[in-house]
Structure 1
Amino acid sequence: MRVEEETGRAGPSAENGDGAAGAAVARRPKRDREATRRRILEAARDLFGEHGYDGVTVRMIAARAEANMALVNRYFGSKAALFGEVLAGESAIRGVIAGSPEGLPRRLAEHFVRQLDRGYVSPTSRLLDRSAGQPEVKEILLHYLEDVIVEPIVAQLDGPDARARALLASTIIMGGGPVRRLLGLNDLRAADPEELTDRLTAMFTAALAPPAAMRPASGTYGG
């Protein structure tokens, strides 16, 4: 391990500041810290995805990242804070929600169907599937749901009850995890992807529509 990573100090050449060589050495500690921090984040992402929050220790993360254990706490403060940073940085749903409000139901449906692909299990899905229910990260998961999914969807909606509609759509988005864990997805994977996308688009459209748009016409139900 580099001395600069552990101490944050440059070597004698940097202290002397002799020309370009001294400046290059002076910059090296910052680069090393950034590289180490990046390795820790990548190691944590992989381990949390493999074992869930409760099955991972700081020692495991440090070993996978080839870093000193003290650096994990120095850069991130705690395992829970590290989990939160990994989760915040890995979410593809941000890009799915962003865009035109008119296309949101279709984008959400396509995202859901992508999660069914055998070769595609997003890091965020693995993190959520294996870590949901852990008390230590409950607040982090709540903030993730609020900040990354619910509020961005609310911002896309017009009309009354925007938050309730966003929560309903979020229920569809997040509900895939328990089904995947308990029942498996073979039947859904065997279905036609285009048909699934069309059905899900209709579900998201209904969930996100303002109340007036969902009221039946007069007399539809014998009124």
Structure 2
Amino acid sequence: MNAEAATEAKPRDREATRQRLLRAARSLFAEHGYEQVTVRMIAAAADANIALVGRYFGSKAGLFGEVLAGEPTVARVIEGDPEGLARRLGEYAAERMYSDPESPILRSLERSAGDPEIQELVRERLRNAIIAPMTAGLDGPDAQARARLATAVFLGIGTMRRLLGPEVPTPADVDRITAVFELCLRPHT
């Protein structure tokens, strides 16, 4: 078979290759964490040339950023009636006391957030997926500062679960956490 016939037999589909790389990276990052995964591992799992990672994503960190952008966010908790935000955050945070995040990539992110190669990606994700949407839904002065404080409480609950293990939240826990979020989100008077 000549080269022209081989090209016709296996057409190049950039988007399909890009998606294979994303799927392979998502799976590997979820299983091993960012630090342990190499570009070579991702390319091999995707049955793709290693150079395509650089071409499509720029770097391993760029690929991680793309994978992260496709993951679930707390947007469903943040969206909605601003008056009920503290309660929704309280319920979601209490749920996180017991269960892991719904996404293996978010678990990987929690483990890998300190890696210097992806710290800026993590910061941007935090700003764009949580703090900015929460800020946009708050009225009054210092909305961003209040959103950042609520985010810190939210992240601290995840850290506690990781360090101490899961704990089944009680209705009283949800009420207490909701009260903390209400204090964080209320404009200073």
TM-score normalised by length of structure 2: 0.85
Give structure 1 stretches of 5+ with no counterpart: 4-8, 13-24, 213-223
Q: Distance in 2 between matches of 1:143 and 1:67?
A: 29
The corresponding residue for 1:209 is: 186
Residue 111 of structure 1: which of 72, 77, 92 is its match? 92
Q: Secondary structure at the match of 2:117?
A: helix
**Structure-2 change in CA distance of 1:101 and 1:49 (3 Å):** same
2:70 is the alignment partner of 1:89: yes
Equivalences for residues 1-223 of structure 1 within 5 A: 11=8, 29=12, 32-118=13-99, 121-185=102-166, 188-189=167-168, 191-192=169-170, 194-212=171-189
Q: Report how far residue 89 of structure 1 moved.
A: 1.5
Q: Secondary structure at the match of 2:176?
A: helix
RMSD between aligned alpha carbons?
2.5
Q: Distance in 2 between matches of 1:77 and 1:198?
A: 46
> 1:204 is aligned with what amino acid?
F
Q: Report how far residue 39 of structure 1 moved.
A: 2.3
Task: Determine if contact 1:44/1:86 at 8 Å carries over to the other structure.
Answer: yes
Q: Distance in 1 between matches of 2:152 and 2:19?
A: 32
Q: Distance in 2 between matches of 1:39 and 1:138?
A: 25
Task: Determine if contact 1:115/1:122 at 8 Å carries over to the other structure.
Answer: no
Larger radius of gyration: 1
Identical residues among aligned pairs (%): 53
> 1:175 is aligned with what amino acid?
G
Tell me the number of residue pairs that the alignment of Structure 1 and Structure 2 aligns: 185
> 2:140 is aligned with what amino acid?
G
List per-residue Cα deviations over 1:98-153 (Å, max 9, x = no partner): 22211211222232233344476423431322211100111111111111111111
Q: Secondary structure at the match of 2:35?
A: helix
Give structure 2 stretches of 5+ with no counterpart: none
